[in-house]
Chain A
Amino acid sequence: MLLLLPQALLDGIMIGGVYITIAIGFSLAFGVMHIIDLAVGEWIMLGAFLGFYLNQWTNLEPFLFLPVVFFVFGIIGYYLQPVLFRVLSGKKGNPLLMGLVFTFGLALIFKGTGLTIFGFYSHSIPSILSTSSFSIEMGNLYLTIPSIRLVGLAYAFIITIMLQYLLKKSNFGLAVRALAQNREASGLMGINPKRTSSYVYAIYVGISAMTGVLIGNIFSLSAQMGAKYTVFSFFVVVLAGMGYLSGVPWAAFLLGLIQSFFLIYFNPGYTLIAVFVILYVVLLISPKGLFGKGW
C-alpha cells in the first residue's frame, strides 16, 4: 500500500497540471467580467475535436496544432463576447442569472452539435509521446512517468507563467487588472472596457480549447466529455476562490491528488462524490475558497 504512495502523489501532480489550464482562463474571465461560463467543458470538447481532425488530416504531431487551436477559438471567443456582454448588461432581471442561463444554452447547443457531428464514440489523438514513458527505480521503489503527462505538466507551467507575466508586467495586463477592479473608473482612465473584455474572453476560450487537445492526448475525447470538465473546472475555481488566479494551481493539484488517490486506493467511481463532499466542506468552512481571497 505504502509503496504506491509516491506513484499516487506523482500521478496526482501530473494530472493536476492539466486542471490548472482548464481552470485558469475561466478564473480570469470571471475576475474581469464576472461571468460564470457553463460552456467551459464544451470549449474543451470542441478544441479537442479540432485537434483530432487536424491530426487526422495532416498526420503531424498534435502539439504543433496548439497555437492553431488557440487562434481559431480565440477569434470565436473575441466575437462571442459582445453577445455575452449584452446579456450581462441587460437592464431587466438579474444579469448574473441571465449570464448563467445564456451560457447554459450555449453549452447545450455545443453539446448537441458535437454529438451530431462527432457521434457518441470515444477517440484519442495519437502522438509520438503517447507510448513512451520512463521509469525511476530506487531500491524497491518504482516510479513510472509517462512522457506525455510530463509534457502536460510543463505546458501547464508555461501557460501559467505566461499568463502571470502578461497580467503583471504588460500594459494590457494593467488594463485587465484595472478592469477587474472597477469597470467605470478604468473606462475613465482611457481603457476600452469592451475590447479588453473581448481579449480576455478570447484568451480564456483559446486556453480552454488548447487544453482540450492535450486532454485528447492524455486521456480521450468524446462529445460527452464536456460536463465532466466543466465540473472539474468549477471545482478548481471555487476552491481557489472565484477570480483569484494565484490559488488555481494549488486547487488544481488538490483535485489531481484526489483523483489519483481514488484511482489507486479506492473505487474511481467515487471521485465525483469525494469532489462534491470536499466542495461542500470548503464552502461551509471558508466560503471564499481555500485562501479566503475569492470574490
Chain B
Amino acid sequence: MRRRNILWFTIIFVALLLLPIIFSDPFSLRIATEALMWIGLAISWDVIGGYTGRVNFGHGAFFGIGAYVTGILMMKGGWAFPITVPIAGLTAGLIALIVGFPTLRLTGAYFAIAMWSLALAFQQLVLLMTITGGPDGMRLPAFLNPEFFFYLMLGIVSISFVSLWYLMECASFGLKVRSIREDESGAMALGMNPTKIKIQAFVLSAIPAGLIGGIYAYWISYIDPASVFGDIITDQAIVMTIFGGMGTLIGPTIGAVILFAFKTLFWAYLSDYEVLYLIILGAVIALTVFFLPNGIWGTLSAYLDSRKIKKFGEVISQSTGDDNEYV
C-alpha cells in the first residue's frame, strides 16, 4: 500500500516537473502555479480543520503574514528573497504558537471565533501601519520568470504534502491528532497532552501558509491588505477542503483542483457577475455539508472500500458454499 502511494506521488511529481516543457506559455504556467498554491493552502488548512477538527476561519491571516514579512524584509530590509521565505514561514508558525496557546485549550467554537477576529485584526493593523504602506499596499521588484515560480511553488507544495503525509498518515502524530478530534477527554485519559498536540498541529498548518504567502508576494510583486488578508482566501481554502473531503490529504487536493478550474473558467467567461461567485461558493459548501459530509474523496473511498468488502464477501461465500445473505 505504501509502496503504491510512493509510486503515485512520483508519477504525479514527474508529470508536474515536465509540465512547463509541454505548456510553456506564461498564462498556462501562471494558472498551474496558482492551482498549486491553492492545493498548498487547502492541505495546510486541513491539518487543523480536518485532522484535528478545529475549524480555523483565519487561515488567510498566515498567508498574509507570510506575504507581508517577505515584502517588508525585501523592500525595507533589502534582504534576498531566498532568506525571506523561510522567515515568512517561521513568523507564521510563531504567531500560530502564540495565538493557539489560549484559544486551542477551549472548545472548537472559541477557536473559530478567535481566529476570525485575529484575521480581521491583522488586516486592520496592516491597513494602519506605515511600514506596510497602509491601504496602498507594497510593490516588490518584479522577477518575470514564470518557470522559477512554478518550480518553487511545486517544491514547497510537494515538500509540504509529503511531510504532512508522513506525519498524518504514517507517523503516530496523525493518530494522536485524530484521537483528539474524535474524543478529547478519551485522548487525555490515554496519557496524551491534547493542548500540546493541537498547538503542534496548528503551527504545522500555519507554516506552509506562511511560506506560500511569501512566494506569492514576490510572484505577484504587489500586495495590499485586501488581496492577501481578504476573507476570500480563507473561504476558498475551506470550501476546497470540505468539497474534496476533510481529514484526508488527497481530498483537499482534488477539491482545490476542481474548484480552482471552476474559478478560472468562471472568471474567464462570467467576470461581470463576480459576486455570483460568492453565492456559488456558499451553495457548494452548504450542499456538501448537507449531502456529502465526507466530501468527494471521502464518499468515493468509502464506496470503493464497500465494493472491496463485497468482493471479499463473495469470495468467502464461494469458498464455503454458503449463501451471501449474511455478508
Contact = CB atoms under 8 A, between A and B. Distances in A.
Interface in B287-310: 287, 289-290, 293-294
A112 interface: yes
Given A94-B108, A227-B231, A230-B116, 4 more contacts: A105-B283, A106-B286, A280-B103, A287-B102
Contacts of A238: 110, 113-114
Contact of B53 (A94, A102, A113, A284): A94
A165 interface: no
B74 interface: no
A158 B284 CA distance: 40
Contact of B99 (A231, A235, A280): A280
Interface stretch (A66-74, A166-174, A183-191, A265-273): A265-273
10 nearest A-B residue pairs (beta carbon) = A108-B282, A112-B278, A105-B286, A105-B285, A109-B282, A112-B279, A276-B121, A284-B102, A115-B275, A234-B113
13 contacts: A83-B290, A96-B108, A102-B289, A105-B285, A108-B235, A111-B278, A231-B120, A238-B110, A272-B117, A276-B120, A276-B121, A283-B103, A287-B102
A291 to B, nearest CB: 16
Interface stretch (B4-12, B123-131, B146-154, B316-324): B123-131
B131 to A, nearest CB: 15
Contact of B294 (A92, A100, A104, A109): A92
Nearest to A230: B116
Contacts of B124: 269-270, 272-273
Nearest to B127: A269
Contacts of B105: 287
Q: State the majority secondary structure of interface residues on B.
A: helix
B114 A92 contact: no
A174 B123 CA distance: 44
Interface residues of B, number: 49
B261 interface: no
Interface string B247-289: 0000000000000000000000000010111111111111101
A107 B103 contact: no
A104 B127 CA distance: 25
B36 interface: no
A279 interface: yes
Interface in A257-295: 267, 269-270, 272-273, 275-277, 279-280, 283-284, 287
Nearest to B285: A105
A101 B120 contact: no
A105 B288 CA distance: 10
Interface string A241-271: 0100000000000000000000000010110
Nearest to B234: A104
Interface string B83-112: 000000000000000010111011111101
A87 interface: yes
A92 B293 CA distance: 7
Given A94-B53, A280-B102, A231 B117 contact: yes
A280 B114 contact: yes
Contacts of A115: 275, 278
B289 A87 contact: yes
